[in-house]
Amino acid sequence: MLSDLAISRQIFSNFAQKFSTHLDLDVALVGAGPSNLVAGYYLGLKGIKAAIFESKLAPGGGMWGGGMMFNEIVVQQGAKEVLDELLIPHRPGEKGYYVLDSVLATSYLIYKCISAGTSIFNLVKVVDVLFREVDGSPKVSGVVINWSPVESLGLHVDPLGVMAKAVVDGTGHPAEVCNVVSSKLGVQLNTPTGKVVGELPLWAEKGEEFTVENTKEVYPGLFAGGMAANNAFGGPRMGPIFGGMLLSGKKLSGLLEQYIKSAQG
């Protein structure tokens, strides 16, 4: 016999346990797009305590819709290693390309990320950052979160803080976290202008190269990956080819591993 009380109690108690154990992190990943999902997978394998905060109901970012709602995406040869390491189904396309069912590939990314040990909190909006002095130097030291519906409805409900040794802006085209840091704190980012430069028009070849090259620390404690890196540093967008996103996530995991080890002394 089913009990509505038992169902509700288990949902609440299990979520409360999961949430409370992720208030102090090694890495807070903002946005559950492909770059952060891949980063979350590799970080989890390395035993680094990370969590992804996604404002929408469904994690996955722009991968679900493929190109113009044709739910197929393309990955170039250089990123095949990530497809193979995460066991994501793919098939050969034209020379140097692989084609993926976007729904299947996105589902695999989400599954592999969580299975590796990185939790995803959907419907959670990062609205601000925590800014602290560490050893006399200012750095981003966490994120400020609220429920997405609270923000979208404009309700006056105070948010909560989550501490993190490093924060990743994986919010895609808006580069929301980088913009918050730049506008609220008035600091100089590690970009050509010292602020968020803004993305350029679509150019797949240059955009893919730019994404990986500019996946890096943009301010002490704050990293940019995926399309957020293109926006922050001023690179072209690239459309429905996702190799750069996958490689950006893998690069992020390596950079963050080094950063966490350095922070621990």
pLDDT per residue as tens, the chain (265 positions): 999 999 999 999 999 999 999 999 999 999 999 999 999 999 999 999 999 999 999 999 999 999 999 999 999 999 999 999 999 999 999 999 999 999 999 999 999 999 999 999 999 999 999 999 888 889 999 999 999 999 999 999 999 999 999 999 999 999 999 999 999 988 999 999 999 999 999 999 999 999 999 999 999 999 999 999 999 999 999 999 999 999 999 999 999 999 999 987 6
User: How high is the pLDDT of residue 197?
Assistant: 97
User: How high is the pLDDT of residue 4?
Assistant: 97
Q: If 0-12 CB within 10 Å is exposed, 13-18 middle and 19+ buried, where does residue 176 land? A: buried
Rounded Cα distance between 200 and 116, Å, is: 35
Q: Is 50 left (phi over 0), alpha (psi -120 to 50) or beta?
A: beta
Instruction: Report the DSSP pairing between strands 124-134 and 97-101.
Output: unpaired
DSSP H helical ranges for the chain = 4-20, 34-45, 80-85, 102-116, 148-152, 176-185, 204-213, 227-233, 243-263
* Global pTM exceeds 0.95: yes
- Centroid of chain to Cα 157: 25
User: CA of 47: how far to CAs of 17, 118, 217, 261, in Å?
Assistant: 19, 9, 21, 12
Q: Domains in the chain, ordered, with CATH?
A: 24-56+116-263 (3.50.50.60)
User: How high is the pLDDT of residue 265?
Assistant: 66
